[in-house]
Amino acid sequence: MTEAALARAIEALPDLVNADAALMRRGRLVSLELRVELGDTPYQLVIERGRIERVERGPFVLRSWRFAVRGGEAAWRQFWLPCPPPRYHDIFALTKSGAFTIEGDLHPLMANLFYFKDVLAAPRRLAMVSAP
């Protein structure tokens, strides 16, 4: 997965998440801004009642967020494989290995854990579609 493919994957999140009725229902109480960093490139996900309203690419100057998930491009590539290898299958496994960091107000993450895990893993479906 190239850098451009990583960008396409995260920019596809609104379509992937908003079309998933079960995921939208699970996130119906979530309204916040989430920072996701793929290597040196920051993205801001604006979420309103579980719906991803927009994904904005940084850099940002003094932009606030509730919590952030940061990881290197290589770690995101492995995480977004249709069947990720061990230690790349989960954001907390990646955090434990040091490949990801999660910081900020963790209450909304923990209160809606399965929603955020599924949102961040949604680009795996793109890889499944494009697989031979």
Q: Is there a contact between 81 and 47 (Cβ–Cβ < 8 Å)?
A: no
CATH number of the domain bearing residue 97: 3.30.1050.10
Q: What total of structural domains would you count in the chain? A: 1
Model confidence over 50-90: pLDDT tens digits?
A: 999 999 999 988 899 999 999 999 999 999 999 999 999 99
119 part of a folded domain: yes
Q: Is there a contact between 34 and 44 (Cβ–Cβ < 8 Å)?
A: yes
Tokens of 30: 């979530």
Task: Give the residue numbers spanning the domain of 71.
Answer: 3-125
132 part of a folded domain: no
130 part of a folded domain: no
Whether 132 has a pLDDT exceeding 50, the answer reads no
17 part of a folded domain: yes
Q: Give the pLDDT confidence score for residue 127 in this predicted structure.
A: 65
Three-class DSSP category at 45 = strand
| Beta pairing class for 32-38 and 67-71 | parallel
In 3D space, the residue among 52, 47, 92 whose CA is nearest the CA of residue 71 turns out to be: 92
